[in-house]
A and B are shown apart, each in its own frame.
Chain A
Amino acid sequence: MKLQTILSLGVLGAAMIAGSASAEVRDIRIGVDVPYEPMEYRTPDGELTGFDIDLGNALCAEIGIECEWVVQGWDGIIPGLMARKYDAIMSSMTINEQRREQVLFSDPYITPPSAWFAPADVEIGTPSEESLEGLTLGVQRGTLQDNYVTDLYGDVAEVNRYATADDMVLDMDSGRLDAVFLDFPIGKSTLLDSEAGDYKLVGEMITEPQEYFGEGFGIAFRQRDQELAEAFNEALATLRENGTYDEIHERYFGKE
């Protein structure tokens, strides 16, 4: 019987082994989910770029620290922050109450609206319970757009949830979706400006109610890293004043 005990114990030990490493305090890593063009995406040669990336790098330079970007899927992005896989999230994350319970947010650094997009040949009136009734709508799972569409139209329309924006676009291309609800800049870049299909904007840009759309995008930190958040807020204020912010904004969204 001894043998069996040894075997059982050995397995317990083996099961506990997992990759482990320690993080340096000064080393700032920022979690980001790509692709989410033009906010964060990769150039064809694999380099990270986008509004968040450029602004994030500028903020770090202003504070005088080194920043390293860590790519992480949206599903696990908050747990990853808690796990200290990285120290901040800068990935088009909307500030809202629900997330505030988990993380500490910086001041909002951009406030993009959300919007409906549909294939050019689909006739949809201004989005409402009547006009969307019976349609198949696409959202990215776990986003504020998911919450908004689920709560407002979940009972009248079919809501398909996707892991990435790419999957959603593919299903829209193939005619499986009648409309999708996205952050406007992302919809513009992946649908309106794309050559693959013919798409249009449906209705107005949507920024209300705040319960869903929050106050804009913020950088998320762990609750206890108050000083870090303060440093980013100060740097953001400086960049807004000295024109760097506008310059980066223009790079990705053009002139207002």
Chain B
Amino acid sequence: MEALLAQLEAQLADNSIFTLQTLSYYGEGLVTTVQLVFLSLIIGLVAAVPLAIGRGSRRRWVKMPIFLYTYVFRGTPLLVQLYLIYYGVVFVEGIQESWLWVILEKPFVPALIAFTLNTAAYTTEIFHGAIKATPRGEIEAARAYGMSRALMLRRIVLPSAFRRALPAYGNEVIFMLHASAIASVVTIMDLTGAARFVYARFYAPFEAFLFVAAIYLCLTFAILYLFRYLERRLLAHLKPASG
């Protein structure tokens, strides 16, 4: 490791921008971006399942609030949502004296909340669409077996809906990765934050932003291949049979 670092340092010696220090900023930025995106996607995903089921409910008082939520969060820019939450929480009365402030004081949690609410709204609509597209035959078959609504949902509807939702959800994951770049606006040192720092310090826009663009591109490809792999595995039965 030591030898590797020494070698790296020698490599970087005649270049004033990509020093070990700036590379460590990019490294930390990568970790922050991945954390932020991964956490918001996981929480958003978990929240989206019941929301999507509720969205398809026949009861208006269940359906309408969820529809309103997804409509608002999908219809407005994430940046506006982030500003609202980051600056807005400050003005909630008494919050600065409560224990909550300890976590809301840092920009990470407000950003995580904004990202989660946003991705949950999109994911809800994706799942809702996938559930609606369940072939009638599958439902009728489940009913014929005497399955209860809950059992049918768990065994038949959801598993097949998840598979159908996979391609659209893959797009949502990439969208979230790209959207996370705005975290730097509220002082979070994510990948873009690191690039903005390097740019401002060295006035080197090409080095700063092309480098970070390349990292995002690699991340995007990684996600793309992961989802392609998952689709191959999980959607194999939908492929036309080959001789």
Cα(A162)–Cα(B90), bound, Å: 18
Taking CB atoms, residues of chain B closer than 8 Å to A174 are 87, 90, 96
Whether A175 pairs with B96 at a CB distance below 8 angstroms is yes
Whether A170 pairs with B197 at a CB distance below 8 angstroms is no
Interface residues in A228-254 by Cβ distance below 8 A to B read none
Task: Say if the beta carbon of A134 comes within 8 Å of chain B.
Answer: no
Taking CB atoms, residues of chain A closer than 8 Å to B201 are 142, 146-147
Whether B203 pairs with A161 at a CB distance below 8 angstroms is no
Q: Which of A102, A146, A160, A175 meets B200, CB within 8 Å?
A: A146
Q: Which of B106, B196, B203, B205 meets A102, CB within 8 Å?
A: B203
Q: Size range of the interface on B?
A: 10 to 19
Whether A142 pairs with B187 at a CB distance below 8 angstroms is no
Task: Say if the beta carbon of A118 comes within 8 Å of chain B.
Answer: no
Task: Say if the beta carbon of A79 comes within 8 Å of chain B.
Answer: yes
Task: Say if the beta carbon of A78 comes within 8 Å of chain B.
Answer: yes
CB within 8 Å for A141 and B200 given contacts A162-B187, A174-B90: yes
Q: Which of B101, B106, B197, B205 meets A161, CB within 8 Å?
A: B197
Whether B187 pairs with A160 at a CB distance below 8 angstroms is yes
The 8 A CB mask of B76-90 against A (1 = contact, 0 = none) is 000000000001001
Interface residues in B177-205 by Cβ distance below 8 A to A read 187, 193, 196-197, 199-201, 203, 205
Whether A78 pairs with B203 at a CB distance below 8 angstroms is yes
Taking CB atoms, residues of chain B closer than 8 Å to A100 are none
Task: Say if the beta carbon of A75 comes within 8 Å of chain B.
Answer: yes
Q: How far is the CB of B202 from chain A (nearest CB, A)?
A: 8
CB within 8 Å for A175 and B105 given contacts A141-B197, A160-B187, A170-B87: yes
Task: Say if the beta carbon of A42 comes within 8 Å of chain B.
Answer: no
B101 and chain A: residue at smallest CB distance = A175
Q: How far is the CB of A104 from chain B (nearest CB, A)?
A: 15
Q: How far is the CB of A160 from chain B (nearest CB, A)?
A: 4
Interface residues in A52-78 by Cβ distance below 8 A to B read 75, 78
Q: How far is the CB of A179 from chain B (nearest CB, A)?
A: 14
Taking CB atoms, residues of chain A closer than 8 Å to B105 are 175-176
Q: How far is the CB of B40 from chain A (nearest CB, A)?
A: 21
B202 and chain A: residue at smallest CB distance = A98
Q: How far is the CB of A77 from chain B (nearest CB, A)?
A: 10
Taking CB atoms, residues of chain B closer than 8 Å to A141 are 196-197, 200
Cα(A174)–Cα(B90), bound, Å: 6
Taking CB atoms, residues of chain B closer than 8 Å to A147 are 201
Taking CB atoms, residues of chain A closer than 8 Å to B107 are 160, 176
Q: List 6 tightest A-B contacts by C-beta distance, closest first.
A: A142-B200, A174-B90, A160-B187, A141-B200, A176-B105, A175-B96
Q: Which B residues are closer than 8 A to A by beta carbons? A: 87, 90, 96, 101, 105-107, 187, 193, 196-197, 199-201, 203, 205
Given contacts A175-B105, A176-B106, 9 further A-B contacts (CB under 8 A): A78-B203, A79-B203, A142-B199, A147-B201, A161-B197, A170-B87, A174-B90, A175-B96, A176-B107
Task: Enumerate 26 A-B pairs (CB-CB under 8 Å) in ascending A order.
Answer: A75-B199, A75-B200, A78-B203, A79-B205, A136-B106, A141-B197, A141-B200, A142-B199, A142-B200, A146-B200, A146-B201, A160-B107, A160-B187, A161-B187, A161-B193, A161-B196, A161-B197, A161-B200, A162-B187, A170-B87, A174-B87, A174-B90, A174-B96, A175-B96, A176-B90, A176-B106
